[in-house]
A and B are shown apart, each in its own frame.
Chain A
Amino acid sequence: MTAAQNAFFVLVTLAVALGVSLASIAYFRRVTLPRPAVGAFNGNDMVIMMGFVVVLPFLYLSLPGWLLPPVLGLTLAGGLAVGYGPVVRRGAVRWSLIAGLLVADWLTARSADDDPTHATPYWLVNSLVIMLMAVGAANLNAQGGLKLRHVSRFALALAIYDLFFATVVPLTQKLFDAVQGYAFAPSAGLRIGEFGAVVGMGDLLVYALFTTVAYKAYGRQGLVLALCLVAVFGALAPTLAPVTVEALTGHLPKIVPAQIFFGPAAFVGYLVLRRSGPERRMADVRPPARLAPADGELPAHEELETAGPRTRP
């Protein structure tokens, strides 16, 4: 890897990692997602999510090659429709935009397949789709009451997962080989000629999630720390690692499991933030609206009071 290639790799990764984190913060500050009547994210949810993380790659790899893009495309379409419902409220417009994006992704992927020199438009479109997806998913979780405690443990679990499936069982490599070049590949980045940098969607999700939940939990202090961690351990460390390994061993690794750097750092970051006090709740960030008392009701009649069946003598 030349110095120029390495610089390209570092800068693009840094831009994508910080870009998705900041976009997620902007989304969090401006958009309020609807939430179910009952339910706040808890530790069990993270365990279930981890289960999906483990199982889905095997599912993807078990699919025939021709079926993988449609499955990924449908997943992305569903995710974007959910995440951007409050942004583009008219369903027809929202679905038209999603369809337009996915069609563009598919067409540019086909074009790049025919002529690799046309890969740049594909990477731009695909990166946009994947980053939008990561921002929406991060906010669904963050606005669902996810705590930084949960995210930091999730990141730590992903670090172990990444290490295991990148070294012991080469699942990550297989998945990378399976989806690269296909439309809707779950990764973002840029390829221009011999220059290339790609970040997996899962990593982007973790960066966006950690940053957003850190902001929710500890405000500006949490945001600054999270962005620093994303920049250093989510972008710089993983991108500088290959050249370091190459210099030491003479072998350039094809993929680097980024979470082995970011997971422990995120966990330590949480421990540091925790020293400043308990995490803020969504109610602290966005206080619920109080219902005005109905005509004729006593002042003591407090919020959330609606008539309804109750325990009776």
Chain B
Amino acid sequence: MVLAAHPGMAGNLDGQGRTMFDAGIRQFRMALAMVLGRPINVRSAEKLVDDALATLAEFGSPGEDVEQLLRGAAADPQMRTDLTNKALRRTAKRLVAKSPFYADHFAAARVDPAALTVENITAVPVTTKADLVERARDFLCSEPFLASRTTGTTGRPTEVWYSRYEERLWPALVALSQVLRGTVRTTDLVQFNISSRATGTAYAEMQVARLSGAAIRMVGLVPPAETLDLMTGTGPSAPTLMVTYPSYLGQLTRLARERGLGPADFRLRRINVGSEVLSPALAEASEKTFGAPVHDGYGMTEVTPVAGAICRQRHLHIDAGIGLVEVCDLDTGAPAAPGALGTIVATPFFPYRECMPLFRYDTRDLVRQLPDAPLTCEMANVPATSHILGKADHVLRTQDGPVTPRQVIEVLDALPGACWPVRHRADVVDGRLHVEVAASSVPETSDIARHFAEAGLDVTVDVVPGEGRELRRYRCDLVENSFASAGRAA
């Protein structure tokens, strides 16, 4: 006698036979869209974040193969190259069809988008910031939603438009990555100290917090004393995560030390910085003061969502699945040789970039090509360059060779008693490196040249009286005053 017969083990099993139909279907759909280069279902991506949160709530950690999910399966190099070539052609064909600028650009270069590969891509001239400023509307490929303006530290600000699709997709992908890596938790309070001009980043950060169940406090670049007041304390109103610029972090660190504050006075568990050079000296001082690790990241308004992270060996790793990243020689524009300096040229792929995509955008972000040897860091499976060394246009060509902004900043930030950010200006005079430093930034001025010499830099130094704001602009100078800080009643 049969009591009943139910097909109990029926189900959609993944490669290892594990059954979570709902989440599995979503993952499959997203993977399929990524491989085929079709628009990603944003709602599905957002629900995947819910799945990740549910996974952490149930198991306390993601499954074993989380890195495979986040970075994609470790395909063989030929397969990766094939996928990259397809993504390049897909992106180029769409640009030629939808963007007046790129229709002209490819026609002038006599390049067939359908024949592009990573080998012949240099036949397409790079897109420059000047192109973007002068013909901004000709880059639009879909309905714009949100404009983000760069801070204009290198000259005129650039305006980049994002679509609704982009502004929902990126936060979902970032939230998924952060939730699975534990870099954001439902119990976190994120404090956002970034210029309010960075609307794209601000909007995305709020969405990431919403999706990941965290709280977020949008503070902006208010005077450091106000921010420090908000940061201090170990109660629930004190932030656990912070996002800011290195120069602003320098100001906060200095002020916290002046107030005699230490790790016990804060609840921070992580500080994320970017957009400026972060020196090891400042990172170490901040970590000791706030009791939380400082993580340096790389991203750029123009080429979002192409972004990178710094490993423990201080390489910059940029995920090759989102876009193509080239390092081009500063003089020839050809691929930089191992060990040579170069500028990052980035091409975000469709479907990650939709509204105002850029092809071979010359970011002018300076890096050094790593030696042609296998990587041994914890992110060895992701392509890498050196840490960001500054802006390509700020390389100083001395008689002893090129000097990068990072080399100068690292020495200055490590000076005894340095007041971050150290106000300075570097130049080349008679073939030698010449550095002017604001007296307010370095209390001990007699030995500066020796510190440079110890770093292998032959330099002449002038100490300039005063605060030296005219010497070098930092993002912390984009300070946003409140009535309180202006000394008036609201």
Query: Roughly how many angstroms separate A180 CA and B2 CA in the complex, as a whole number?
Result: 9
- Is the pair A140, B21 in contact by a Cβ cutoff of 8 Å? no
A309: chain B residues within 8 A (beta carbon): 174, 177, 297, 307-309, 318-319
Q: Does B24 sit within 8 A of A, measured CB to CB? A: yes
- Is the pair A35, B5 in contact by a Cβ cutoff of 8 Å? no
- Is the pair B10, A203 in contact by a Cβ cutoff of 8 Å? no
B160 to chain A, nearest CB (A): 15
- Is the pair B3, A310 in contact by a Cβ cutoff of 8 Å? no
- Pick the residue among A283, A300, A305, A310 that contacts B177 (CB under 8 A): A310
A34 and B64 in contact (CB under 8 A), knowing A75-B9, A309-B177? yes
Q: Does A158 sit within 8 A of B, measured CB to CB? A: yes
A282: chain B residues within 8 A (beta carbon): 58-60
Query: Roughly how many angstroms separate A26 CA and B59 CA in the complex, as a whole number?
Result: 20
- Is the pair B292, A298 in contact by a Cβ cutoff of 8 Å? yes
- Is the pair B263, A313 in contact by a Cβ cutoff of 8 Å? no
Which residue of A is nearest B60, CB measured? Answer: A283
Query: Roughly how many angstroms separate A40 CA and B8 CA in the complex, as a whole number?
Result: 18
Which residue of A is nearest B273, CB measured? Answer: A313
Looking at A41, A133, A238, the one whose CB has the most chain B CB atoms below 10 A away is A41
Q: Does A141 sit within 8 A of B, measured CB to CB? A: yes
Query: Roughly how many angstroms separate A34 CA and B64 CA in the complex, as a whole number?
Result: 8
A304 and B1 in contact (CB under 8 A), knowing A288-B61, A309-B309? no
- Is the pair A300, B293 in contact by a Cβ cutoff of 8 Å? yes
A288: chain B residues within 8 A (beta carbon): 59-61
A200 and B14 in contact (CB under 8 A), knowing A40-B51, A310-B309? no
B378: chain A residues within 8 A (beta carbon): 294, 306-307
A201 and B5 in contact (CB under 8 A), knowing A34-B64, A281-B57, A309-B319? yes
A283: chain B residues within 8 A (beta carbon): 57-61
- Is the pair A41, B20 in contact by a Cβ cutoff of 8 Å? yes
Query: Roughly how many angstroms separate A265 CA and B378 CA in the complex, as a whole number?
Result: 53
B182: chain A residues within 8 A (beta carbon): 302-305
Looking at A49, A180, A254, A294, the one whose CB has the most chain B CB atoms below 10 A away is A49
B177: chain A residues within 8 A (beta carbon): 308-310
- Is the pair A40, B59 in contact by a Cβ cutoff of 8 Å? yes
Query: Roughly how many angstroms separate A236 CA and B2 CA in the complex, as a whole number?
Result: 14
Stretch at the interface among A77-85, A104-112, A113-121, A269-277: A77-85
Interface residues of B in 11-52 (CB under 8 A from A): 11-14, 16-24, 27, 48, 51-52
Q: Does A256 sit within 8 A of B, measured CB to CB? A: yes
- Pick the residue among B1, B62, B295 that contacts A196 (CB under 8 A): B1
Q: Does A37 sit within 8 A of B, measured CB to CB? A: yes
A313: chain B residues within 8 A (beta carbon): 194, 198, 201, 243-245, 272-275, 297, 299
Number of interface residues of B (CB under 8 A): 86
- Is the pair B6, A44 in contact by a Cβ cutoff of 8 Å? no
A166: chain B residues within 8 A (beta carbon): 4
- Pick the residue among B3, B9, B178, B268 that contacts A311 (CB under 8 A): B178
Q: Does B312 sit within 8 A of A, measured CB to CB? A: yes
B198: chain A residues within 8 A (beta carbon): 313
B167 to chain A, nearest CB (A): 13
Query: Roughly how many angstroms separate A312 CA and B194 CA in the complex, as a whole number?
Result: 10
- Is the pair B178, A310 in contact by a Cβ cutoff of 8 Å? yes
- Is the pair B24, A205 in contact by a Cβ cutoff of 8 Å? no
Query: Roughly how many angstroms separate A300 CA and B241 CA in the complex, as a whole number?
Result: 12
- Is the pair A36, B14 in contact by a Cβ cutoff of 8 Å? yes
Which residue of B is nearest A75, CB measured? Answer: B9
Which residue of B is nearest A59, CB measured? Answer: B7
Q: Does A64 sit within 8 A of B, measured CB to CB? A: no
Interface residues of B in 302-321 (CB under 8 A from A): 307-312, 317-319
- Pick the residue among B16, B21, B194, B299 that contacts A82 (CB under 8 A): B16
Query: Roughly how many angstroms separate A9 CA and B48 CA in the complex, as a whole number?
Result: 48
Q: Does B344 sit within 8 A of A, measured CB to CB? A: no
Which residue of A is nearest B62, CB measured? Answer: A37
Task: Type the 1/0 row for A67-79, where 1 means its CB is closer than 8 Å to any CB of B.
Answer: 0000000010011
Stretch at the interface among A95-103, A171-179, A224-232: A171-179
- Is the pair B3, A49 in contact by a Cβ cutoff of 8 Å? no
- Is the pair A85, B1 in contact by a Cβ cutoff of 8 Å? no
Interface residues of B in 187-215 (CB under 8 A from A): 194, 198, 201, 204-205, 208
B295: chain A residues within 8 A (beta carbon): 307, 310
Task: Type the 1/0 row for B265-300, where 1 means its CB is closer than 8 Å to any CB of A.
Answer: 000111011110000000000010001110101110
Show the binding face of A for B, using Cβ within 8 Å.
9, 13, 33-42, 44-45, 48-49, 52-53, 56-57, 60, 75, 78-79, 81-83, 85, 133-134, 136-137, 140-141, 144-145, 158, 162, 166, 172, 175-176, 179-180, 186-187, 196-206, 209, 238, 242, 254-259, 281-283, 287-289, 294, 296-298, 300-313
Q: In the A-B complex, list the 9 residue pairs whose CB atoms are closest, starting with the nearest.
A: A202-B6, A304-B182, A82-B17, A205-B8, A39-B20, A283-B60, A39-B23, A312-B297, A258-B3
19 A-B contacts, Cβ less than 8 Å apart?
A34-B63, A37-B66, A38-B48, A39-B18, A40-B58, A56-B7, A133-B8, A141-B19, A144-B18, A201-B7, A202-B5, A205-B8, A257-B3, A258-B3, A282-B58, A307-B378, A308-B181, A311-B243, A311-B297
